[in-house]
């Protein structure tokens, strides 16, 4: 059928449960979305709740992708909560269900995020990427450029520190 995007869908109990389930699935498949596998719904639920609180308050946005009614992709468009940075936002928790990867849904999600950013009147979007997985190449293909990196900022396991990349997409000419 294909992916359809909804900005700020109603945060029903079913959608909240689907978000947690997707987050667990993506993490346990090796996705870098704030946790290290293995992870359980009990670990993800409070973090998801905090992210969704920002959406409920209208400060942040949820961009959700559905395929035939099933949640298959999402990201959060997060405010910096700082007056001098109101002209740009951070994209967090970019994820696509592993069973639908390879269909172009990730790229479609990021293109839709840029469309949303422009509609919100933003000048740019930033995404933070965990080093070691090669995902920065995905963002580069979509026009993002590395603007900085913090060496060893993310400790995914004892003796396994990863760089944190900062990637930037201008939305204006």
- pLDDT for 132: 87
Domain containing 65 equals 3-121
Is 173 inside any structural domain?
no
Is 152 inside any structural domain?
no
Is 110 inside any structural domain?
yes
Is 99 inside any structural domain?
yes
Q: What is the pLDDT along the chain (173 residues), one digit of tens a residue?
A: 699 999 999 999 999 999 999 999 999 999 999 999 999 999 999 999 999 999 999 999 999 999 999 999 999 999 999 999 999 999 999 999 999 989 999 999 999 999 999 999 999 999 999 998 889 999 999 999 999 999 999 999 999 999 999 999 999 97
Q: The CATH number of the domain where 116 resides is what? A: 3.40.630.30
Domain total of the chain: 1
pTM of the model: 0.96
Please state the three-class secondary structure of the chain as a single string.
CCEEEEECCCCCHHHHHHHHHHHHHHHHCCCCCCCCCCCCHHHHHHHHHHHHHHHHCCCCEEEEEEECCEEEEEEEEECCCCHHHCCEEEEEEEEECHHHCCCCHHHHHHHHHHHHHHHCCCCEEEEEEECCCCHHHHHHHCCCEEEEEEEEEEEEECCEEEEEEEEEEECCC
- pLDDT for 169: 98
Is 30 inside any structural domain?
yes
Is 105 inside any structural domain?
yes
Is 128 inside any structural domain?
no
- pLDDT for 133: 82
């Amino acid at each position: 059928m294909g992916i359809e995007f909804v900005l700020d869908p109603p945060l029903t109990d079913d959608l909240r449960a689907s978000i947690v389930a997707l987050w667990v699935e993506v993490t346990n498949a090796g996705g870098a979305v704030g946790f290290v596998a293995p992870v359980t719904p009990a670990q993800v639920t409070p973090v998801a709740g905090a992210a969704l609180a920002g959406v409920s308050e209208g400060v942040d946005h949820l961009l959700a992708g559905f395929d035939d009614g099933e949640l298959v992709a999402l990201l959060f468009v997060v405010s910096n909560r700082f007056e001098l940075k109101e002209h740009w936002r951070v994209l967090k928790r970019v994820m696509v269900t592993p069973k639908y990867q390879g269909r172009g849904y990730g790229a479609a999600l990021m293109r839709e995020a840029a469309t949303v950013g422009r509609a919100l009147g933003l000048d740019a979007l930033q995404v933070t990427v965990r080093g070691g997985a090669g995902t920065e190449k995905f963002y580069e293909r979509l026009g993002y450029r590395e603007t900085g990196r913090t060496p060893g900022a993310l400790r995914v396991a004892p003796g396994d520190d990863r760089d944190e990349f900062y990637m930037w997409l201008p939305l204006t000419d």
